Structure formats: structure tokens, C-alpha cells
Amino acid sequence: MSLDKRCIVIGAGVAGAACARALVDRGWQIKLLDIAKEPCAAASGVPVGVVSCHASPDDNPLSQLTRAGLQATIAFAKAHLIEGQDWSPVGVLERRFAESDKAKKPWQEPGEDSVWFSHVKLAQEEQLRQAGLNADSSHDLWQAQGAWIKPMALVRALLSSDDILFLGLHEVESMLKSPATGEWVLRIKHHIPIPGMGSSFTYTSASAPHVVLATGAHTPDFLNQVLYEPDMGLHPIAGQVSWGLQAPSMGEELPKFAVNGHGSFVAHVPTVEGLAWYTGSTFDRHESHLIASDEAHAHNRQRLGELLPAVADKLASQWNDTTQIKAWNGVRCASINRLPKLGPLDEKRFPGLHMLSAMGSRGLTLALLCAQAVADRIEGKPPVLADALLKAMQCELPEA
């Protein structure tokens, strides 16, 4: 019997958009639903993010995944985004701090046969100098393939297909497998804004044999309230990014590349108001608030002082004038083992229901690769990722 290629994806962040695109590229028809009016209304609305590998000398699962994920994201960006505007392959300097290095194995410069060879090297004196850092006894790393990217541009490009129907203001409230058709039937609250009077709603429904949950930090609530299942240990991590517009005189003074370590720093990012720099973010575990605070700005400022002391000094007068510092707040979804959760939720109890969530702080590096893994699984194709990696990411609902 041929596969019925209709799928509903719930959640129009980078995970949902990447799943929609992975399936459409294989000939599927997608309905993409989101509570918000437009895509990227939640975590994927972060104005800019860093795409980089998690470097570990023992090549742990997150390292393997981020290395492959980076390549998938960069290949898509090269083909579909405007370089310098939507993304930029500027490279990433990864700072490794002396005190945390004690817990880590020292980085050995990779040989040509190493999986890290084209990804991670010890940082050169010139890179450290450009970041205003002392080259002596540095353990910092250089990721030549690293980049910054604007998730909104990425998601817009992922969704540019006539076979993806985006339905905003569509909140999935419940879903059941129809005994008559075998399809999932979703009950959807359709929010209707009424200018000057708030909003109203009606109910509608949608059905398809396959559904992908890509609900980000809403996933624990979705599992509890829609499927009556436990949250699989997924938890929210709220964060605030601090950012400001760059004075023209700053052009040569801020590093051209992105910097990661304790928080991150990215500059020279074009916005409608001019070039901007971004730093942060805060990391409030088990919190899902979206309130910008001066305390979070102060935290980001202090961490920038540790990450890039010379840059923090150059931006000091801007930080002192609070009207010049802006905030963006969002909530990530993380799992206990810090890996995404993907694949079928429970093939026996919920046939046709898949998930891609818990992208943590690396959704921009991982979503496109993970979406291919979800699409492979839905189509019953042999997985591209190693079995051990897929096992580490599988959804684990307790037996009923």
C-alpha cells in the first residue's frame, strides 16, 4: 500500500518549519499550525543565533550531532539565504575558561584523519588579538565553519513551498485517532482578532494520518493536557538576550566573528535600524517567564566582561545608558540528557504521531538535521544517523 503523504505539523518554529520542509521535499502535503499569527513567535524569534559545534575531545553524542547539524544548516543557508544579510559564515571563537578547563580534557590539535579536522582548531594569535584577548596560555578554539544566522529568515526560506499551508492563530486543543478513518483528528481553537475589541474564537478541525509535534517549550503542557501523558523530563529554560545598535566608529573595534563560551557575542548584524551587536543570554532553568529585566541585562553585561573584557569596555558607555540597551526574551525547551527528542512518541499507542522538540540552545544548528531524521522515520527509510544517537534522542513515554 502506498504511503498517504499528508501530515499536520504543530508548531511553526524552526523545528516545525524544518520538518515541514523535509517532508515537502519528499512529495508530502503539509498543514502547519501555530497558536501565533506568524511563524517564529516563540523561541525561534530570537533575532540572531550562533551555529556551532559542541567540541568535546571524547566526541560525545552532542558533538557528533552538532557537527552533522552544522553542515545541514550551513548547506541550506548557502542555497537559500542571503549571505551577510540573513546569515554570515564568520567563524566562531570558542572561549574555554581556565577554571572550567580543569573539568575538561585538554583539546589536542586534530590531525587530518580526525573528525574534528575541518571543524575545530586551537585559536590562532590573530583571532585572539582581534577579540582583544591575550594570546598567552590560551585554550580557546576556532570553529572555521561556524556562523551567525537569523532564525526568521531561515524559517521563511524553509516554508517557501506551495505544499506547506501555514495556518496561524490555530491552537491545537485536543487530538484523537478516528476509529473510522484511522486518521488523527485535531480539534483546533481558531483565535480571531477583533480590531479594538480584543479577540474571539471559533472551533475548527483538521485531520491527517501523520502528525508531528514541534511545540518547543509548550511540549510538556501539550503532553499533559492534550495527550494526558507525562512530560518526559522536558523543562523550560527562559533567557534574555541584550543587544544594541553599533556606533559607526565601532566598526573595527568589535570582533568580525561570533564568540561563544560563557554566553555569546555577535556583532555587525544588519537590522533595519543599522548594524547591531547581541550578547547573552541568561539561562533561567525551569522558568518560562518572558519579562525583560534590568537584572538580566546586568547579568549579560557581567558575563560579557568575562567573555570579552576589551569588548565590554568598549561598550561600557552604551551599557550605562539603559535607553540604548534592548532586550529579547524567549524560552527554550530542554531534555535531561541535553539532546533533542525526536521520532515516534509511542508507535503502539499513538501510531502516526511523531515529535521534534527539546532543541535546547542549539535549535539552529540541529533542527534541519533532526527534521531529516524525523522524515526518514515517518517514511520508514533507513536512518542516516547512527543508531546510538537515535536511541539517545528517542521519546520515552512510560508503558501504559
Ligand X SMILES: Cc1cc2nc3c(=O)[nH]c(=O)nc-3n(C[C@H](O)[C@H](O)[C@H](O)COP(=O)(O)OP(=O)(O)OC[C@H]3O[C@@H](n4cnc5c(N)ncnc54)[C@H](O)[C@@H]3O)c2cc1C
User: Where do contacts with ligand X occur on this chain (CB under 6 A)?
Assistant: 10-16, 33-36, 41-44, 46, 49-50, 151, 171-172, 214-218, 222, 239, 241, 264, 281, 330-332, 357, 359-365
Q: How far apart are CA 298 and CA 327, in angstroms?
A: 12
Assess contact for 142 and 127: CB atoms under 8 A.
yes
Q: How far apart are CA 372 and CA 360, in angstroms?
A: 18
57 grid coordinates: 575531545
- Collect all residues with Cβ–Cβ distance below 8 Å to 349 and sequence separation of at least 6: 397, 400
Cell 518547543: give the residue.
216
Residue with Cβ nearer ligand X (247 or 284): 284
156 grid coordinates: 521563511
Q: How far apart are CA 318 and CA 297, in angstroms?
A: 12
CB of 357 to ligand X, least distance (A): 6
Alpha carbon distances (Å) from 349 to 35, 184, 219, 220, 312: 26, 12, 18, 18, 53
Q: How far apart are CA 355 and CA 353, in angstroms?
A: 7
CB of 109 to ligand X, least distance (A): 26
Residue with Cβ nearer ligand X (237 or 378): 237
Residue with Cβ nearer ligand X (11 or 352): 11
Residue with Cβ nearer ligand X (359 or 368): 359
CB of 257 to ligand X, least distance (A): 14
Q: Burial-class residue 161 by CB neighbours within 10 Å (0-12, 13-18, 19+).
A: middle
CB of 67 to ligand X, least distance (A): 14
Residue with Cβ nearer ligand X (123 or 188): 188
CB of 149 to ligand X, least distance (A): 8
Q: How far apart are CA 42 and CA 290, in angstroms?
A: 10
CB of 177 to ligand X, least distance (A): 17
Q: How far is Cα of residue 397 from the mean position of the Cα atoms in its chain?
A: 23
Q: How far apart are CA 100 and CA 102, in angstroms?
A: 5
Cell 522515520: give the residue.
377
Residue with Cβ nearer ligand X (184 or 222): 222
SS3 11: coil
Residue with Cβ nearer ligand X (158 or 311): 158
CB of 220 to ligand X, least distance (A): 11
CB of 189 to ligand X, least distance (A): 8
CB of 35 to ligand X, least distance (A): 4
Helix (H) or strand (E) holding 367: helix 363-379
- Collect all residues with Cβ–Cβ distance below 8 Å to 132 and sequence separation of at least 6: 255, 308, 309, 310, 311
Peptide bond just before 281 cis, omega within 30 deg: yes
Residue with Cβ nearer ligand X (35 or 62): 35
CB of 358 to ligand X, least distance (A): 8
Residue with Cβ nearer ligand X (10 or 276): 10
Written as one letter, the residue type at 25 is D
Residue with Cβ nearer ligand X (109 or 231): 231
Half-sphere exposure of 103 (CA within 13 A, CB side): 4
